[in-house]
Amino acid sequence: MIKKTTVNTIQNMKNNGEKIAVLTAYDYSTAKYLDEAGVDIILVGDSLANVALGYNSTQSVGMNEMTIFTGAVARGVNRALVVGDMPFMSYNTSIEQAMTNIGEMVKAGANAVKIEGCNDYLIKLIRHCTQSGIPVLGHLGYTPQSSNQIGGHTIQGKTVDAVNKILDEAKKLEEAGVFAIVLELVPEESAKYITENISVPTIGIGAGRFCSGHVMVSDDMLGKFSDYQPTFVRKYVNLKSIILDSAKQFCQDIKDEKYPSEKEVFNLKEEEKEKLLG
């Protein structure tokens, strides 16, 4: 019997000093293998926009796309906690609009949702979610959906004042009921300080070694996405070259009439063959 990972499992991991492994996934098969490999949280990130749909920005992906891909991932997962990333402007207009969209994400199969940022409105929204039984993963530091406001892909929390601002936001999110907080693009010392001063786990991405866990975009980790690569990415395999080599070999086999071979075809029964061909 497979034991499903819950938000309590994730909190216990922080309490017991066990690191939390988080990867993104966007399709059924990848999600299935990541789950089988023991990944604790599978995030259907809005990075879907860049790595799977080819948009320039995460701001381009919408609710329809996110729920389709979240459904595919959820159908492949038995054990890991599935988190659906709420896309740009799907939760910012009103609590009512946000709760409708968040409900769609949960109906698609997400066990929890991720919401970027911290302000009075978002705190109210997070309270609504947790009171409705929907766990929320917070996201602080660099928040890509606000990249135009922030001024690009830049490291956050570089001064004592800036770290304390993020810590203050983290405490507010914790108070509102988030089960964990992603810290993106933050110096290691800042992420450590924040992690040590809140109770819920932190999940780092470009945030050094001392977060409670770490997240990576699976297409980066697998060497599949090659348009750009952040410095903190560790590539475990070069899927790009494996795909390229396999596709080249397939093309060559077709040209050389090596595919299909005798073993890869269906045949008529002898008597039918006789009747047909004489």
> Nearer Cβ to ligand KIV, position 31 or 205?
205
As measured in angstroms, the least distance from the Cβ of 163 to ligand KIV is: 19
Q: Which stretch binds ligand KIV (CB under 6 A): 12-20, 41-49, 92-100, 220-228?
A: 41-49
Contacts to ligand KIV from residues 168-197, by CB under 6 A: 182
> Nearer Cβ to ligand KIV, position 51 or 125?
51
Contacts to ligand KIV from residues 211-240, by CB under 6 A: 215, 217
The one catalytic residue in 184, 196, 264, 274 is 184
Catalytic, 96? Answer no
> Nearer Cβ to ligand KIV, position 20 or 205?
205
Q: Which stretch binds ligand KIV (CB under 6 A): 45-53, 73-81, 146-154, 169-177?
A: 45-53
3-state secondary structure the chain: CCCCCCHHHHHHHHHCCCCEEEEECCCHHHHHHHHHHCCCEEEECCCHHHHCCCCCCHHHCCHHHHHHHHHHHHHHCCCCEEEEECCCCCCCCCHHHHHHHHHHHHHHCCCEEEEECCCHHHHHHHHHHHHCCCCEEEEEECCHHHHHHHCCCCCCCCCHHHHHHHHHHHHHHHHHCCCEEEEECCCHHHHHHHHHCCCCCEEEECCCCCCCEEEECHHHHCCCCCCCCCCCCCCCCCHHHHHHHHHHHHHHHHHCCCCCCHHHCCCCCHHHHHHHHC
As measured in angstroms, the least distance from the Cβ of 213 to ligand KIV is: 11
Contacts to ligand KIV from residues 21-40, by CB under 6 A: 24
As measured in angstroms, the least distance from the Cβ of 24 to ligand KIV is: 4
Contacts with ligand KIV, residue ranges (CB under 6 A): 24, 43, 45-47, 85, 182, 205, 215, 217
The residues that are catalytic are: 184
